[in-house]
Amino acid sequence: MYTKKRVVAMLLAGGQGSRLYALTKNVAKPAVPYGGKYRLIDFPLSNCTNSGIDTVGVLTQYQPLVLNEYIGNGQPWDLDKMNGGVHVLPPYETQAGASWYEGTANAIYQNMRFIERYDPEYVVVLGGDHIYKMDYSKMVDFHVANDADCTISVIDVPKAEASRFGIMICDDKNQVTDFVEKPKEPKSTLASMGIYVFTWEKLRKYLIENENDANAKREKGEPWSKDFGKDIITSMLRDQQRLFAYEFEGYWKDVGTLDSLWEANMDLLSPSVPLDLYDPSWKIYSRNSNMPPQYVGDNANIENSMISEGSTIDGTVDFSILFSGVTIEAGATVNYSIIMPGTVIKSGAVVEYAIVGSDSVIESRARVGSSPEMIENRDDWGIAVVGHNVTVSAEKVVAPKQIIGENI
């Protein structure tokens, strides 16, 4: 069968997402809900479809049940294709034995046969925990125009934040001359977004080289790693391959931590944030829960919020993101919070500056989180988090910064 594709995308769906604690207990990070009706992985998958990339491998090895069920045959993203489409690629056993993915580069190394089935010219490598809308086809064009071996998408970040990222140093033609992971004194403000375009032939060579080197080091008892940024990019720079930085302009947010997940949701409520979920030419697709429209009752007070279908709102909701099938009873208050699918906030409960996971219950007069103004010492303040399927009993308090994974 003829299966050739010019571009194949490989999505690193990551590991546990341990910094999201209670929210990733039974769920891989890319399946974490975001923005009222999405999951994180909807963004890269929708970007692929909108960019004309119809072959995507999703590399995952942590709690795959929810993610597998969510991706299914890829139909919600138009990725149910006769040839290509989306494929979840967990680690597997071979005659040589079985091994877990030992880093981002190794995950792709172990799936080289998947890529080779499509005999692509270019491979796009993506992360699963960033919120952004991007036309990858333009980045591939840029890669081709520069006759590059690898193109790394970068975003200009404030100088003060640059030391949190992998920083690219470029010449005036955008060619990368150096790459430093989380530098103490950054020489540039161009941060890697974890989005790469590789000429497949080159990537293949470096994946094999890295695999062999790392295994040799491991045998000798030396430190080793099989990582994209750390190993593949560094080796390519060392060999003076053509690496280019593709500057992205627009909204891009890493949601690797609870604080940044909360912020990224709140960003949707800010008119100054350029992330439009209502643009018909670049829709973000998601698996639909088939619920009726939301019902807003007589006692409701809703302002500056985003609320999804199937919800019943009869309480006060301000500066919040509510997912599908959420119930806010009369007399309940939700401010500056994220309430994930199917959760019930009962009468008299107050939820402020919090993330409440899916299918949880906040009973009457319970209190979750608090506004920063109410806390004397600002260091004691932070987002309160209630995990999935958790009940917070009547009149119980979840303090700011507290993370609850079990019933209280």
Partner 1 sequence: MSVNYNVLGLVFASMHDAYVSELTKQRTMGSIPFGGRYRLIDFPLSNFVHSGVSEVGVITKSNYGSLLDHLGSGRDWDLARKKGGLHLLPPYSQTGGIYKGRLDALNNIWGFVEHSNAKYVIMSNCDVVTTINFNPVLKQHMENEADITLVYSRGVYDYEKNKCTTVLEFDGDNRLKDVLVDPQFSGECNIWLEMCIITKDFLKKIVSDAASRNQFSFTREILQGRRDDFKIMGYKHDGFFTKIDSIQDYYLANRMLLDPEKKNALFRKDMPVLTKIGDNGPVKYGLESSIKDSLIADGCIIEGTVINSILFRGVKVGKDSVVKDCVLLQGTKVGENCSISSVIADKNVEISNEKVLTGSETYPLYIGKGGKI
Q: How far is the CB of 308 from partner 1 (least distance, A)?
A: 4
Rounded-to-integer distance, Cα 159 and Cα 247, Å: 16
User: Does the footprint of partner 1 cover residue 101 (CB under 8 A)?
Assistant: no
User: Would you state the structure tokens that stand for residue 112, as one six-digit string?
Assistant: 């080289």
- Which residues, including other chains, have CB under 8 Å from residue 62's CB and lie 6 or more apart? 14, 15, 16, 17, 24, 28, 29
**10 Å Cβ neighbour count for 298?**
6
Pick from 284, 332, 349, 404 the residue near partner 1 by CB under 8 A.
284
| Residue 376 marked as a ligand binder | no
Q: Residue 124 in contact with residue 53, Cβ under 8 Å?
A: yes
Q: Residue 241 in contact with residue 150, Cβ under 8 Å?
A: yes
User: Does the footprint of partner 1 cover residue 274 (CB under 8 A)?
Assistant: no
The angle at the Cα of 125, spanning 120 to 126, to the nearest 5 degrees, equals: 140
Pick from 16, 294, 347, 389 the residue near partner 1 by CB under 8 A.
294
Rounded-to-integer distance, Cα 277 and Cα 243, Å: 32
| Residue 187 marked as a ligand binder | no
Q: Which stretch binds partner 1 (CB under 8 A): 112-120, 160-168, 254-262, 287-295?
A: 287-295
User: Does the footprint of partner 1 cover residue 33 (CB under 8 A)?
Assistant: no
User: Would you state the structure tokens that stand for residue 46, as one six-digit string?
Assistant: 């929708």
User: Does the footprint of partner 1 cover residue 83 (CB under 8 A)?
Assistant: no
Which one, 292 or 372, has the nearer CB to partner 1? Answer: 292
User: How many residues belong to the site for partner 1 (CB under 8 A)?
Assistant: 34
User: Would you state the structure tokens that stand for residue 72, as one six-digit string?
Assistant: 């299914």
The SS3 call for residue 397 is strand
User: Does the footprint of partner 1 cover residue 359 (CB under 8 A)?
Assistant: no
| Residue 166 marked as a ligand binder | yes
Which one, 170 or 255, has the nearer CB to partner 1? Answer: 255
User: Does the footprint of partner 1 cover residue 278 (CB under 8 A)?
Assistant: yes
DSSP assignment of 249-288: -S-EEE--SHHHHHHHHHHTT-TTS---TT-GGGPPP---
Q: Which stretch binds partner 1 (CB under 8 A): 34-42, 102-110, 225-233, 375-383?
A: 34-42
Q: Are strands 122-127 and 190-199 parallel, antiparallel or unpaired?
A: antiparallel
Task: State residue 259 phi and psi, 5-degree precision.
Answer: -65, -45
Q: How far is the CB of 260 from partner 1 (least distance, A)?
A: 20
Which one, 249 or 298, has the nearer CB to partner 1? Answer: 298
Which one, 85 or 90, has the nearer CB to partner 1? Answer: 85
Annotated binding site for alpha-D-glucose 1-phosphate: 101, 166, 181-182, 192
Q: Which residues bind partner 1 (CB under 8 A)?
A: 35-37, 75-76, 277-278, 283-286, 288, 290-298, 300-309, 312, 321-322
